[in-house]
Amino acid sequence: MEAEAQSPGARAAHWPFFLLLTVFLAAVFLMPSTAPLFHWLFPDLLRPVYTRASFFELTVAHCELVFASTAVAAFIGIGTALYVTRQSGKEFLPLVSALAAIGQTFPPVAVLALAIPLLGYGAAPTLVALVLYSTLPILEATIAGLYAVPGSARDAALGLGFSPAGLLWRIELPLAAPFIFAGLRNATIINIGTATIGSSVGALSLGSPILEGLSASNPAYVIEGAIVVSLLAVVVDRAFETLEQALN
Amino acid sequence: MIEVDSVSKTFGALKAIDGLSLKVEDGTFCTLVGPSGCGKSTLLRMINAMIAPDTGRISLRGADIATLPPDQLRRGIGYVIQSVGLFPHWTVADNILTVPRLLRWPKEKCAKRLDEIVALTEVDPAWLSRYPRQLSGGQQQRIGVARALAGDPDIILMDEPFSALDPPSRASLQAAMRRIHAQSKKTIIFVTHDIDEALKLGTQIVLLNKGRIAQTGTPQEILARPKDEFVETFIGGTAPRLRLLDFEPVSTRMRPETNVQAPPIFADASLKDALNLMLSESCAMLAVQDRDGRRVGTLTVADLIEAPHGS
Amino acid sequence: MLLVLGIAGGLTLVFGGFLDMSPNRLASGIALTAFSLSPTACAAIAAPLAAFILLAFVSNEKARSIATLLAAALLLYACLATAGLLAKHLASPDKPALRLSLGSAFWIPLACALFAFLDAMQRLQFGLVARVGFFALLCLPFAFMAYVGFFDALSLAKEFENHQAVFVQALVDHVLLVVLSLAIALLVAIPIIFAVRQKSGLQNLVYASLGVIQAVPSIALFGLLIAPLSALVLHVPALAQFGIGGTGRTPAIIALVLYALLPLVRNGVTGLDAVSPDVRDAAKGLGFTAGERALKVDLPLALPALLSGMRVVTVQAIGLAAVAALIGAGGLGTFVFQGIGQYALNLVLVGAIPIILLALGTDLGFQLLLSVARGQA
């Protein structure tokens, strides 16, 4: 992977990102004008374009869900990882890493489903499920990253007179950053997907047209929602990729 | 008999083998020796068709190997490499029986062969159920040798097999190879960059330089009459004159006198042993005996230094 | 550690609802605390929690961990027994619509028990087999209790009973969906793995394009496949005879295969790359044919990596297959989404709990397989 990042092919990977971004924005804003196209594809449908909410509103709602949940998850995940890797939190490390590993085998849908009895319908259970689920990859990645810091680097830093806080901020976190970043990327992508399903419990998101289309046998709604949310996911994934390369 | 006939091989700009011809008789322990990049490994790997020559032909018992199916050919030739390459997912016993199983020998024959090989190569039977990673480097290479012999090939190719080992393991495996060669009379082609090892093991030495044969012959021939400056330099570090004493028995240099008192030595001991004894006993003369303890002659320092007339 | 678990469990026990009682399936219920239902039962659950708190002050790690295992087992069964008994006590034949759901004072102490198990087993350094064996032993009495109808009064059990006939079918459908996709994905992945290894230039392209698919949300990918597949079946009606359709299993399997490809290919390539060139050289020199080399050397040596790829993919597919219920592919997800739609939360659990157990069980199974495969290599 290291070698790939240096290749000219990978450097040229920037332009597809901006191209994708343009296509995504076009899809969001120009969806209403695609009515003739969908009408031509599905002549039987009375309403070929989803109009209950504009795709811009849906996208904003979707992004809010994802951003809020990922931010909270990052705060909890990184915080917990830092705590259990310090002397004072060492006691919890085995349980926390076991939980992070086992928790990730729980399917996101199941976590979403389990949040309903506690929180009812709407955006709240979706948000909680997203936070719960996406905390785990961030937590696991951060622990892995902190453990990947070479003992010699830590040793040398302490020997040179770093305080524990200085060691954390100036040595450990920068060295663990690529891992943490990968965890964040993973969590964000999972959240974009789970937020889509979140519309089944009543949260407004880009999944809403898909689910409504499925239940009302309107394939045009399904395609519209699917295209926009897929583009959103791919754009965000590429953005992370580009950032990752820039950071390296 | 292995015949290499005007073979050349080029890798990119590098001429690895340059119009080389060589004959190796059956039962020979042939050591290919030379500096790195001289083409010795390439030559070896051409004999079991791991590398195809650009021009020329290699034949085995008169048959051109290019005409034989490579897998069949290789199953009939033992192969030992420096990095051993044991199969990590198989036990030692499974590793040894690789080729018999490729040849689909029946179970009983395999079991019998395993016992024979374990005895011949002095493999500790306790290792058989272990996995390669549980063995030391020297132990692994012993299994490598056993694996190469298991299919009972007439020819064994060995590519720097002992170069990566610690000196005691190397000495022990070298001794094992000499014994195995003496017992089985197999043809062995052995690549090494270590002239000492080549002289110690080989009955025929092939000294290579830049893809060509610099000199070939018995160890004595090479040591006594280096053909050119390259050979001289290459064997220089081995104290060749001293080394030659290794190959000559006391009986060829002794004089018939039997009445002088001196420390005893057997007539079939090497001249090197004799010199060593003189040095350790601080004497200039030894009493030569045969194996029954009868006095047959006397050896002096002067006899060691000057070859007898007519030899 | 134990202090936190004990206090958290204790607090929810005192303040949280143990059983939610509602007059019928749809009405919202009232939460009843364990203490208000039966002080004895409450004490039975509180005792092991108190034991946790006390155990936190035992300094001998081994003794403490063993005692924790015991206390956690007691806690687990105190919760289960109380739930069954209290529900039986509250239920009456003249109110058949009465629903009794388990509340947070049941679930959280239960979770505390499981956390305590995990932590103690980690500290006692139980091996994989010991862990699996211990949990199996722990589940046996539960299975027996469920079998004899101890929990029948709980509405979770009622929902399960109501859907029993469909449940088996859904479970089979779910497993079939996952197994079938995995098998197809393997068949597709193997040639890709070899192609990628032959031509290194291909690797970036394959990884990038499969990586894009990974990012696409599952329900979107399902949705995107429906229209083209429907059109295809419309134009080639013969396909319908093979059970291929625009909705249902076909798009679900295609999507699951697409998701599975990247982890399989990446792990396969990594596994093969890790096979030492010396071993390959030796195999060639000893006269293995190309086929024998692939089958007897490359495959077994790359197996651990491939298996861990399959582990990821299978666990992921179990979750994705649940989403596939939305496009009519059947499976356990059907209960989840039906339950969500009808506001029947116990029905959601009938789907969600087996999905989780299936995922956990599969994960454990693969871990066992992996440890066997690694032990050999």
* Contact across the interface for C287 and B74, Cβ inside 8 Å: yes
Q: C215 with C84, same domain?
A: no
From A160's Cα to the closest Cα of chain C, the distance in A is 34
Contacts of C377 (CB under 8 A, 6+ apart): B88, B89, C300, C301, C303, C304
Residue B311: inside a domain: no
Q: Residue A11: what pLDDT?
A: 43
CA distance B106 to C158: 62
Do A78 and A96 touch, CB atoms closer than 8 A? no
Q: B213 with B268, same domain?
A: no
* Contact across the interface for C212 and A114, Cβ inside 8 Å: no
Query: What is the layout of strands, in order, in the sheet containing C30-32?
Result: C30-32, C19-22, C99-102
Domain that holds residue B285: 248-305
Q: C239 with C301, same domain?
A: yes
C 227-246 → A contacts, CB under 8 A: 227, 230
From A189's Cα to the closest Cα of chain C, the distance in A is 6
When divided into structural domains, chain B yields a total of: 2
* Contact across the interface for B81 and C287, Cβ inside 8 Å: no
CATH code for the domain in which residue B258 is found: 3.90.1280.20
* Contact across the interface for B102 and C376, Cβ inside 8 Å: no
Would strands C99-102 and C19-22 be described as parallel, antiparallel, or unpaired? Answer: antiparallel
CA distance A72 to A67: 9
Q: How many CA atoms lie within 13 A of C282 on its CB side?
A: 28
Q: Residue B33: what pLDDT?
A: 95
Please tell me which residue of chain A has the smallest CA distance to C342. A201
Out of C105, C137, C155, a domain closes at C155
Would strands B187-192 and B155-159 be described as parallel, antiparallel, or unpaired? Answer: parallel
CA distance B85 to B73: 20
* Contact across the interface for A9 and C319, Cβ inside 8 Å: no
Chain A / chain C CB contacts < 8 angstroms: 141
DSSP 8-state assignment for residue B67? G
Do C371 and C363 touch, CB atoms closer than 8 A? no
Task: Give which of A210, A201, A248 is closest to A229, Cα–Cα.
Answer: A210
Copy the structure tokens of residue A211.
């689910």
CATH architecture of the domain with residue range A2-247: Orthogonal Bundle (1.10)
Do A138 and A78 touch, CB atoms closer than 8 A? yes
CATH code for the domain in which residue B191 is found: 3.40.50.300
- For residue range B114-169, list pLDDT tens digits in order: 999 999 999 999 999 999 989 999 999 999 999 999 999 999 999 999 998 999 99
Q: C264 with C140, same domain?
A: no
Q: B90 with B39, same domain?
A: yes
Please tell me which residue of chain C has the smallest CA distance to B132. C377
Question: How far is CA A179 from its chain centroid?
Answer: 15
Task: Give which of B282, B67, B51 is closest to C281, Cα–Cα.
Answer: B51
Q: Give the distance between the most distant pair of CA atoms in chain C.
A: 83
CA distance C44 to C53: 15
Taking only the tens of pLDDT, chain A with its 248 residues reads 333 333 444 444 556 778 888 888 888 887 777 777 777 777 777 777 777 778 888 999 999 999 999 999 999 999 999 999 888 888 788 888 888 888 888 888 888 888 877 777 778 888 888 998 899 999 999 999 998 888 888 888 777 778 888 888 888 888 888 999 999 999 999 999 989 988 888 888 888 989 888 888 888 888 888 989 999 999 999 889 888 888 77
Q: Residue B136: what pLDDT?
A: 92
CA distance C206 to C269: 12
Q: Which residue has the tokens 């974009």?
A: A192
Domain that holds residue C248: 164-376
Question: Which residue spans within B221-280 are E strands per DSSP?
Answer: 264-266
B86 phi and psi, to 5 degrees?
-70, 150
Q: Does residue B298 sit in helix, strand or coil? A: strand
From C287's Cα to the closest Cα of chain A, the distance in A is 35
Question: Which residue spans within B13-96 are E strands per DSSP?
Answer: 14-24, 29-33, 55-60, 63-64, 77-81
Running along chain B, 311 residues long, what does each successive block of 10 average in pLDDT? 93 90 94 92 92 92 90 90 88 92 92 93 92 91 93 92 92 93 92 91 93 92 89 83 84 86 88 90 90 88 72 42
Q: C114 with C180, same domain?
A: no
Q: Residue A1: what pLDDT?
A: 32
Which amino acid, one-letter code, is at C27?
Answer: A
Do A168 and A119 touch, CB atoms closer than 8 A? no
Q: Do chains B and A touch (3 or more CB pairs under 8 A)?
A: no
Do B191 and B16 touch, CB atoms closer than 8 A? no
CA distance A155 to B112: 57
Q: B177 with B200, same domain?
A: yes
Q: Does residue A226 sit in helix, strand or coil? A: helix
Residues of A in contact with C211 (CB under 8 A): 237
Task: Give which of A111, B284, B163, B80 is closest to C285, Cα–Cα.
Answer: B80
C233: contact with B, CB 8 A cutoff: no
Q: Which residue has the tokens 């388990």?
A: C102
CATH code for the domain in which residue C133 is found: 1.20.140
Nearest to A237 among C215, C340, C348 (CB): C215
**Whole-number CA gyration radius for chain C:** 25
Where does residue C308 rank: exposed (0-12), middle (13-18), buried (19+ CB within 10 A)? buried
Task: Give which of A73, A68, A93, A69 is closest to A81, Cα–Cα.
Answer: A93
Out of C155, C176, C201, a domain closes at C155
CA distance B179 to B201: 10
Do C64 and C55 touch, CB atoms closer than 8 A? yes
Nearest to A223 among C123, C223, C349 (CB): C223
Q: Residue B29: what pLDDT?
A: 95
Neighbours of chain C (3+ CB pairs under 8 A): A, B
Q: B234 with B298, same domain?
A: no
C376: contact with B, CB 8 A cutoff: yes
Neighbours of chain B (3+ CB pairs under 8 A): C
Would strands B204-209 and B29-33 be described as parallel, antiparallel, or unpaired? Answer: parallel
Out of B225, B243, B261, a domain closes at B243
Q: Does residue B299 sit in helix, strand or coil? A: strand
Please tell me which residue of chain C has the smallest CA distance to B83. C278
Please tell me which residue of chain C has the smallest CA distance to B157. C285
Neighbours of chain A (3+ CB pairs under 8 A): C
C 259-278 → B contacts, CB under 8 A: 276, 278
Nearest to C278 among B48, B85, B157 (CB): B85
Copy the structure tokens of residue C203.
């690797």
C352: contact with A, CB 8 A cutoff: yes
Task: Give which of C140, C125, C275 is closest to C197, Cα–Cα.
Answer: C275
Do B172 and B161 touch, CB atoms closer than 8 A? no
* Contact across the interface for C285 and B48, Cβ inside 8 Å: yes
Q: Which residue has the tokens 């399959």?
A: C310
Residue by residue, DSSP assigns A74-133 as HHHHHHHHHHHHSTTTGGGHHHHHHHHHHHTTS-HHHHHHHHHHHH-SSHHHHHHHHHHH
CA distance C101 to B205: 89
Q: Residue C376: what pLDDT?
A: 57
* Contact across the interface for A219 and C217, Cβ inside 8 Å: no
Q: B236 with B266, same domain?
A: no
C351: contact with A, CB 8 A cutoff: yes
- For residue range A55-76, list pLDDT tens digits in order: 888 999 999 999 999 999 999 9
Out of B212, B228, B243, a domain closes at B243
Helix and strand counts by DSSP (H, E) for chain A:
13, 0
Q: Does residue B296 sit in helix, strand or coil? A: strand
B128: contact with C, CB 8 A cutoff: no
* Contact across the interface for B87 and C278, Cβ inside 8 Å: no
Find residue B10's DSSP bridge partners: B15
Optimal mutation site among C278, C279, C284, C286, interface B, most CBs of chain B within 10 A: C286
Do C180 and C110 touch, CB atoms closer than 8 A? no
Q: Residue A3: what pLDDT?
A: 37
Residues with pLDDT less than 70, chain C: 23-29, 94, 96-97, 243, 245, 375-377
Nearest to A230 among C216, C351, C352 (CB): C216
Q: C95 with C200, same domain?
A: no
Do C71 and C44 touch, CB atoms closer than 8 A? no
Q: Which residue has the tokens 């990095």?
A: B83
Q: B124 with B267, same domain?
A: no
Q: C351 with C205, same domain?
A: yes
Nearest to A233 among C215, C224, C318 (CB): C215
Do C48 and C71 touch, CB atoms closer than 8 A? yes
Residue B155: inside a domain: yes
C 140-199 → A contacts, CB under 8 A: none
Q: Residue A15: what pLDDT?
A: 61
Q: Residue C236: what pLDDT?
A: 77
Q: B41 with B134, same domain?
A: yes
Please tell me which residue of chain C has the smallest CA distance to A191. C217
B181: contact with C, CB 8 A cutoff: no
This complex has an ipTM of 0.83
Please tell me which residue of chain B has the smallest CA distance to C290. B71
When divided into structural domains, chain C yields a total of: 2
CA distance B54 to B44: 15
Q: B213 with B270, same domain?
A: no
Which amino acid, one-letter code, is at A54?
Answer: S
Chain B / chain C CB contacts < 8 angstroms: 63
Do C78 and C97 touch, CB atoms closer than 8 A? no
Do C111 and C14 touch, CB atoms closer than 8 A? no
Q: C151 with C168, same domain?
A: no
Out of C100, C125, C155, a domain closes at C155
* Contact across the interface for C227 and A219, Cβ inside 8 Å: yes
Q: Does residue B49 sit in helix, strand or coil? A: coil
Domain ranges of chain A: 2-247
Q: B8 with B149, same domain?
A: yes
Copy the structure tokens of residue C334.
């059907």
**Whole-number CA gyration radius for chain A:** 21
Alpha helices in C216-287 (DSSP H): 218-235, 238-241, 249-273, 277-285
Other Cβ atoms closer than 10 A to B18: 15
Out of B243, B272, B287, a domain closes at B243
B307 phi and psi, to 5 degrees?
-70, 145
Q: Which residue has the tokens 């195999």?
A: C283
Residues of C in contact with A222 (CB under 8 A): 223, 226-227
Task: Give which of A218, A199, A223 is closest to A109, Cα–Cα.
Answer: A199
B97: contact with C, CB 8 A cutoff: no
* Contact across the interface for A117 and C211, Cβ inside 8 Å: no
Q: C134 with C176, same domain?
A: no
Optimal mutation site among B42, B44, B71, interface C, most CBs of chain C within 10 A: B71
Copy the structure tokens of residue C243.
């059970």
CA distance C60 to A129: 38
* Contact across the interface for A229 and C220, Cβ inside 8 Å: yes
Residues of A in contact with C356 (CB under 8 A): 106-107, 110
From C289's Cα to the closest Cα of chain B, the distance in A is 6
Q: Which residue has the tokens 């059970």?
A: C243
Return the H-helix or E-strand segment holding A229: helix A219-247
What is the sign of the dihedral through the CA atoms of C157, C159, C162 and C164?
Answer: negative
Nearest to A226 among C220, C333, C363 (CB): C220
Q: B224 with B260, same domain?
A: no
Q: C196 with C102, same domain?
A: no
Where does residue A85 rank: exposed (0-12), middle (13-18), buried (19+ CB within 10 A)? buried
Question: Which residue spans within B82-182 are E strands per DSSP?
Answer: 155-159
